[in-house]
Amino acid sequence: MTTLLEERLATRGRLQAVEDDLMAAAKRNVTIEGAAGVFTWVLRGAGREPAEPMTFVDDIQEVEDMILVAGLDEVLEMTQHGTFTWARNAN
C-alpha cells in the first residue's frame, strides 16, 4: 500500500514530465482539459499572459487518474519551472 507522500511524489514526477514537454514546445501558460477536470500550467513569470487551451498532452490523463484515485478535488503543485493546478469539473 502506498502512502500519501509516495502518491504526491509520483504525481509530481508525472507533472514534471508534462512540464518538460510543455517547455520543449515553448509553451508558457496553458489550460488542458482532462476527463474529470481542468489543468492549468503557468511558467513562472508568465502569469499575466493569456492561457493557451490545449486538448491533449502526453501523460496528462494518467496524472488525472492518479489524482482521482487519491480522492482529491483540487491540486496545486509546484514544478521545476512553473505551477500546475487541477480542479474537478462542476458536473
Count CA atoms closer than 13 A to 56's CA, side-chain side: 1
Q: What is the pLDDT of residue 91?
A: 67
Tell me the mean pLDDT in the region 2-30: 91
pLDDT digits (tens, 9 = 90+) for 39-84: 999 999 998 999 999 987 778 999 999 999 988 899 999 999 999 9
Q: Which helix (H) or strand (E) holds 68?
A: helix 60-69
Mean per-residue pLDDT, 21-33: 94
Average pLDDT of the chain to the nearest whole number? 91
Measured in whole angstroms, the distance separating CA 71 from the mean position of its chain's CA atoms is 16
> Cα dist. 70→6, 42, 48, 65, 79 in Å?
11, 24, 31, 9, 19
